[in-house]
Amino acid sequence: MITADTLVERRSRRWGRFTGRPDLVNPLDAFTGARRRWESFRLKEWIGFTLIHPEWASSMIIQDAKYLATSEIYGCCRATGELSERSASGRGRAQLPVRLLDGARCIFQSDGYRLEYGFDRGHDHHRIIIDIAASGERAAFSGELRLDAARSSAALAVSAPLRRRRTPSAPAMFTYKEIFPAEGELTIAGHRVVFDPARDVAILDEHRSHLPYRTDWTWGTFALQTGSGIVGANFATRPQPNGAEDESCIWTPQACEALTGVTFNPLAPGRMAPTRVISFDGRLDLVFTPQGRKDATPQLLVASMDYFQQCGTYQGTVRGLDGTEYPIDDVPGVLERMHARL
């Protein structure tokens, strides 16, 4: 585990798992001059949240692909499968500061659409602020959530190569994730959704990565609050060199513990089939049952995407390194797949 203030020091990038998010995360600091400008164009950055609530599933994202900035949000009623979603795009509309936890504000704003994350300088609380007006038949989203950073999970922060060469210009990823108790109220398509900080959480997901032109991953996450603290998991598969760190982990009330050898196995054909998720060592053994699904398949001249995210519930067990088992009984979470040319 690495303790560091910066991801890049004297144009040399650090690789591995960090004890927490470095204060400064800017992969471009490994470059200068014209090379820095080119790598800036290649850099893909996003910050999003997955909201865990017993009645509504919701995820949101602000992302900057350099040739286009976008933001998306959706809400899915777990009981009915009713899906409401909004999106906006435009070059230069995304603000994603590289010093995230030091009083930063992350904003995407366009006509009638504003999504903002505020990170408290004292690390006591963060905020999600949503102000998206109805437009025609498209639903409105609004409200504010306060995230309790004093009772958060341990941080997951990983810097890893996505190709065998560990050079500054090779494809690589940095991700930071953390789970926060969430309190407040949202309005989703006219429905009032109240968040209880003793029950509900928001899972932060930050990426600042130079992805391969052809990019694939499968990813899932969930979390719940227990009497002893937050329990959850983050699990992913993507092409990586042998021995490289990946972002899979189990969150116990005490730590964020690395996890390897995750596989996703659909249990039946079809778009809404359950999926079994297991790790090689058996510490993760779950079945995900989808309740709703969001698809995105934009096709551009040099870029394309075949993506979906399902919301649903996880059933099974996770086990900490100390042998403690945590039963997962219909815990809300998400599962997504991405195939893209970026």
Q: Is the predicted pLDDT of residue 92 greater than 90, yes or no?
A: no
Question: By the 8 A CB rule, do 199 and 225 touch?
Answer: yes
Closest CA to 236 of 279, 266, 201, 197: 279
Give the span between the Cα atoms of 144 and 94, in whole angstroms.
19
Give the mean model confidence (pLDDT) for residues 30-40: 94
**Biggest alpha carbon distance in the chain?**
54
Residue 120 confidence class, pLDDT cut points 50, 70, 90 = confident
Residue 240: pLDDT band by 50, 70, 90 thresholds? Answer: confident
Number of alpha carbons in the 13 Å side-chain half-sphere of residue 149: 17
Q: What is the pLDDT of residues 185-237, one digit of tens each?
A: 999 999 999 999 999 999 999 999 998 878 899 999 999 999 999 999 999 99
Q: Is the pLDDT of residue 281 over 80?
A: yes
- Mean pLDDT, residues 142-159 taken together: 97
* CA neighbor of 156 nearest in space, from 29, 262, 255: 255
pLDDT band at 298 (very low <50, low <70, confident <90, very high): low
> Residue 30, exposed/middle/buried by CB under 10 A (0-12, 13-18, 19+)?
buried
Tokens of 126: 């963060």
Range of lowest pLDDT (78-92, 118-132, 158-172)? 158-172
Q: Which whole-number Å values give the CA distances from 296 to 110, 191, 254, in the listed order?
A: 20, 24, 37
Predicted confidence (pLDDT) at residue 316 exceeds the cutoff of 70: yes
- Of the two residues 65 and 118, the one the predictor is more confident about is 118
Hey, how many other C-beta atoms are within 10 angstroms of the C-beta on 161?
Answer: 20
pLDDT score for 304: 66
User: What average pLDDT does the segment 31-44 reach?
Assistant: 93
Q: What domains are defined for the chain?
A: 8-341 (2.40.370.10)
pLDDT of residue 300: 56
- 17-26: pLDDT as tens digits: 999 999 999 9
Residue with more model confidence, 68 or 222: 222
23 SS3 class? coil
**Model pLDDT, residue 183:** 98
Check pLDDT > 60 for residue 253: yes
Q: For tokens 């052809």, what's the residue?
A: 214
